[in-house]
Amino acid sequence: MLPQTAKAILAQHHLLSTWQSDFCFRTDHGDVDLSQGIGAHAIPLFRLPYQPTKFPPGTTYRFNPDKYHGAGAAKHILHDVASSVHGCQMHSHTDCTSSANALFSTHSLRCSFCAVARNYSDKHFSETSFARIGTRTEPLKRRRESDKLAPDRMATCNMKRPRHKRKQQESPKKKSNSTSADPPSARRTLGTKALTTDTKCCVRVSLRNYHLSGNWYLSKYSCITHMHHTRLDEIHKRVRRKDISTVESDFSQVLHENGVNIDSITRVMNHLCYNTGVAGLIRKKTMRNLVRKKQD
């Protein structure tokens, strides 16, 4: 490979790994773009609905006070904001909270690639050790004469000729009709966490809940520019149990009570979600847990 080709491939990989996510929040008056209220050049979004005449310092947008009010609406607003950030999977970061004497509490949503995938547990393995913690090593037993075989050094060796390995009888292969069989689907592995601490994503959406008024605001110190990972297509997004409506969950329960297996139920529900415009894919494990919860 030429050096110019390698540089072009690395440059293209860097462009694909650095991108900005869309932030279209759904309201009663339609979808609004909140990306202009985030970053160093953020501006207060006075022209949008539910906005006051003056914002608290460090905020640019106020969410609907009738729908999101008080600390009890934290779970609801975090779910709605996570669904509005497209192209990635956002998870709540509960460690970012303020003290009781502060004027507001901060709740953060982080990209899934801000966490590092651990290939071992600190309880059983260590970074400086190859084996498990507490494993006793046995000494290596060497032969005195490494150039001779073990039977040649035995006192009563009656082996006159070497023993042949028994050949396994191969079963006759059945001829498969290649025209009728479906071609194998390509396997795809989608990562959800960073490999090292140096390749973590810095995306963060911070929400503030002011204690006196109970209103929720968007902090301008958020970031929606992803790094070190590519954009996730909507078809590869996983639909969780709380994203499935009550009518759909009842319909899946009716199918299960009539003898339909989980595979068929998952395929039908994915087809219904695709027709209704819900982006993502329902896994069989999610559908199985949903049916068990409805039965309980």
For 30-83, how does the pLDDT look when each residue is reduced to its tens digit (9 = 90+)?
A: 889 999 999 888 999 999 988 999 999 999 999 999 999 998 999 999 989 988
For residue range 90-126, list pLDDT tens digits in order. Answer: 888 765 566 667 889 999 999 988 888 876 667 777 7
Q: What is the pLDDT of residue 120?
A: 62
| Cα–Cα dist 76/72, whole Å | 8
- Give residue 58's pLDDT: 92
pLDDT per residue as tens digits for the range 264-280: 888 888 888 777 766 67
Confidence of residue 177 (pLDDT cuts 50, 70, 90): very low
Entry pTM: 0.65
- What's the first-to-final CA gap in the chain, in angstroms? 60
Instruction: Read off the amino acid at residue 101.
Output: N
**Residue 260: pLDDT over 60:** yes
**How far are the Cα atoms of 290, 292, 293 from residue 265, in angstroms, in the given order?**
11, 13, 15
Mean pLDDT estimate for the chain: 79
pLDDT of residue 110: 92
DSSP structure class, residue 227: -
Residue 262 main-chain phi, psi, to 5 deg: -65, -35
